[in-house]
Amino acid sequence: MTLNKQLTQRVMNLSPRQRAALATQLSLESSGLQRLVAYVVPKSHQASPKPSALKDLLKSKLPTYMVPAAIVPLEAFPRTANGKIDVNALPEPQLTSSKGSLVAPRNAVEETLAQIWQDVLKLKVVGIHNNFFELGGDSILSIQIVSRAREAGLRLAPNQLFEQPTIAELAAVVNLTPAVVATQGIVTGEVPLTPIQQWFFDQKMAAPHHWHQAMVVELPNDVSHERVEGAISALWTHHDALRLSFSDIQINIDAINPPKPVQVDLSRLDESEQRQAVADHGSQLHAAVNLAAGGLMRTAFFTRGAHRPWLLLSLHHLVVDAVSWQILLRDLATLLNGPAQLPEKTTSFKSWAETLREQAIPRQSEADFWITQVEQSTIQLPRDYAETVIPTEATTQTVTVALSQDDTQALIQTVPAIYNTQINDALLTALAHTLLQWVEATSGSVRVEVEAHGREQIIPEIDLSRTVGWLTTTYPVSLPVRHVDNYTESLKLIKEQLRQVPDRGIGYGLLRYLGDDAIQQRLAQASPSEVLFNYLGQRDLITTDSDLRIIHKMDVGMLRDPRNQRGYLVEINAWVTDGQLQINWRYDTNIHWPDTIKALANQYLATLKSLIAQCTDPDSGGFTPSDFPDADFNQTELDDFIGQLTGEA
């Protein structure tokens, strides 16, 4: 969001009376959402301006986020005994909630975007001024928006949803990014390792071939083994990264030998036995991969008599990530629905890997930022055992906790509306507080490795909205907490810290694994982050436009070889399913007691609830400097400025 410097200066130069005419009040509606309200007093001898005309003027000067939800003309401001504006005496504006105050699309582009938002966010109706992140959108869903828009003939980039988070703003920048020309043929040949792939091989795992992701989908009754085989072959041919192999180098092999689904008849078993059979076959598929031979995608087709068949998809993590799963599932549904042509390819994984190599040197300007993140003082996690051991999969356990549906909805929609945040801001704020409380500190900084989707349009010639592969990035970030009991202050601090991260962290991996030798060495010498955090989005919102159904609570077998070591002491994976935020805490039982991590996971839930409660308090809300990057405010100056506008300074 940006605030015009000239407008800022004009407002700062207003007389007290003129400044009072722009006084604002944050009022809490019954829905719990805060809205900006402007009270206007005309100059002497001038007619009261029309609120609609004023709002149109503000829309031309301000981002949608800063346009008041209501403008109330007054003859004069109510005053306190000392002459300040009496905020409590201001009349209540006539407001409706953001979901009730909807402005319909005004043209074909806005209509198309509105339909895409409704489909992806699973909403019945969306207004053109609704904020994507206040509706529950996140960075992963932004990729779906871009992909759907592309299929509809509208060219967008993922970063545009962060900069123009409403349909009205987004429609104004459609097709302004250059058209990307992607190779539509089968891509073969040597492929450079990406930073995340280099991280993987640097782990020196005992069994690197067995480090998988997998999923089971329930198919329509009329889908035969032959149709599934044809669909898998089409996916294998279309998505080049599925054909990667790894020996001394990474190679895209040709598409002449597509993998054939294993067919298994489970019709004689009851459902519990069927589920166990899926887990057993899954473990076999995952473990049977040979990295040098390729074939990193394996599938099994399970018939179940009169019940709908199941399809197990097993992919080595080297060729897939969370966004890739969305692409593959949607394409699978398209292929199983009947004869269909998949959408055109976007930038190939090979081209992306080559682009990352080329961009390593230009990213050297970020070196000081990343060195600061890894070298500044941070807390060390407590250990329950004195002996130092390396975490392994064999001794790893998981603790799972879940936020209630009401709290999850507030976290996804209410908090972002009040503080102009994204969900990671709140999740990481709660994590920083939880870890500080674990070490019994009241303030300090916590370093966390954050995982992101990595599909950043770092040059105009790139489009990754339909690119399959392991594109995720990880980057370290130091999270500051000044007062362990003040969650809203920390939310502002951490929001600002995350906004300083260039291009959502993609530069760290480039410098750490592909950049200048001296920079690589300095980053490598820093103590490693002990905590990995990854928000995987809203699984409920993965759409396939068919009755193909993802079975989330299914044991898919042993995904990782027990001998493999883990890179972090604690790994936290969070996502929304069935309307609830679920958080998985993975830890090593040779390092931490189960009761320690259970208590930590429950403390995190309690902290999230407290953060939500503080954020939804009627007196909460406020802007931070990143909301006005052109104004060059620090937090104190911004608070003083807003205080002057509201008469509270």
Residue 69: per-residue pLDDT: 66
d(CA 544, CA 542): 7
- Reported confidence tier of residue 623, pLDDT bands at 50, 70, 90: confident
Q: Bigger pLDDT: 362 or 633?
A: 362
Residue 480 has pLDDT above 50, yes or no: yes
| 139 & 191 share domain | no
Residue 18 has pLDDT above 60, yes or no: no
- Reported confidence tier of residue 2, pLDDT bands at 50, 70, 90: very low
- CA-closest candidate to residue 446, choices 276, 572, 594: 572
Residue 312 has pLDDT above 90, yes or no: yes
Residue 597 has pLDDT above 50, yes or no: yes
| 153 & 207 share domain | no
Is residue 537 one of the residues assigned to a domain?
A: no
The residue type found at 100 is G
Is residue 370 one of the residues assigned to a domain?
A: no
* pLDDT, tens only, 206-234: 999 999 999 999 999 989 999 999 999 99
Tokens representing residue 162 in the block = 């962060």
**Averaged pLDDT for residues 437-459:** 93
CA 12 from chain centre, in angstroms, equals 36
Residue 548 sits in a domain of what CATH number? 3.30.559.10
| 248 & 289 share domain | yes
Domain stop point among 139, 171, 203:
171
Residue 167 sits in a domain of what CATH number? 1.10.1200.10
Residue 28 sits in a domain of what CATH number? 3.30.300.30
Is residue 413 one of the residues assigned to a domain?
A: yes
Q: What percent of the chain has pLDDT over 70?
A: 86
Tokens representing residue 559 in the block = 């995904």
Is residue 166 one of the residues assigned to a domain?
A: yes
Phi, psi of 463 (to 5 degrees): -140, 115
CA 348 from chain centre, in angstroms, equals 22
User: What Cα–Cα distance (Å) separates residue 410 from each residue in 76, 279, 463, 619?
Assistant: 37, 36, 33, 16
| Bridge partners of residue 571, in order along the sequence | 532, 586
Q: If you count them, how many residues does the chain have?
A: 649
Q: Label residues 111-139 b or e (16+ Cβ within 10 Å = b).
A: ebbbebbeebbeeeebbbbbbbbbbbbbb
Is residue 488 one of the residues assigned to a domain?
A: yes
Q: What is the 3-state secondary structure (H, E, C) of 313-334?
A: EEEEHHHCCHHHHHHHHHHHHH
| Bridge partners of residue 212, in order along the sequence | 316
Strand bridging mode 580-588 / 570-577 = antiparallel
Q: Bigger pLDDT: 221 or 11?
A: 221
The residue type found at 489 is E
Is residue 628 one of the residues assigned to a domain?
A: no
Q: How many CB atoms lie within 10 A of CB 56?
A: 11
**Averaged pLDDT for residues 466-487:** 94
Scanning the structure block, which residue is given the tokens 């009627």? 618
Is residue 130 one of the residues assigned to a domain?
A: yes
d(CA 376, CA 477): 10
| 434 & 578 share domain | yes
Residue 45: per-residue pLDDT: 65
Q: How many domains does the chain have?
A: 4
| 483 & 607 share domain | yes
Strand bridging mode 444-452 / 531-538 = parallel
User: What Cα–Cα distance (Å) separates residue 574 from each residue in 269, 510, 583?
Assistant: 34, 26, 4
**Averaged pLDDT for residues 409-424:** 88
User: What Cα–Cα distance (Å) separates residue 295 from each residue in 292, 318, 558?
Assistant: 9, 12, 18
| 138 & 159 share domain | yes
- CA-closest candidate to residue 575, choices 534, 531, 544, 532: 534
| 196 & 342 share domain | yes
| 71 & 143 share domain | no
| 17 & 65 share domain | yes
For 243, the domain range is 180-359+542-561
Span of 12-26, 277-291, 427-441 with lowest mean pLDDT = 12-26
Average pLDDT of every residue of the chain = 86
| 192 & 278 share domain | yes
**Averaged pLDDT for residues 504-529:** 94
Q: Bigger pLDDT: 620 or 285?
A: 285
- CA-closest candidate to residue 446, choices 433, 456, 459, 458: 433
First-residue to last-residue Cα distance in the chain: 25
Residue 273: per-residue pLDDT: 96
* pLDDT, tens only, 547-592: 788 898 899 999 999 999 999 999 999 999 888 999 999 999 999 9
| 233 & 353 share domain | yes
**Averaged pLDDT for residues 482-495:** 91
**Averaged pLDDT for residues 526-546:** 81
Residue 426 has pLDDT above 90, yes or no: yes
| 490 & 445 share domain | yes
Q: How many CB atoms lie within 10 A of CB 543?
A: 16
Are 291 and 247 contacting, i.e. CB atoms less than 8 angstroms apart? yes
Residue 308 has pLDDT above 60, yes or no: yes
Scanning the structure block, which residue is given the tokens 């007691």? 593
Is residue 263 one of the residues assigned to a domain?
A: yes
Q: Bigger pLDDT: 257 or 316?
A: 316
Are 465 and 155 contacting, i.e. CB atoms less than 8 angstroms apart? no
- CA-closest candidate to residue 244, choices 506, 468, 473, 461: 468
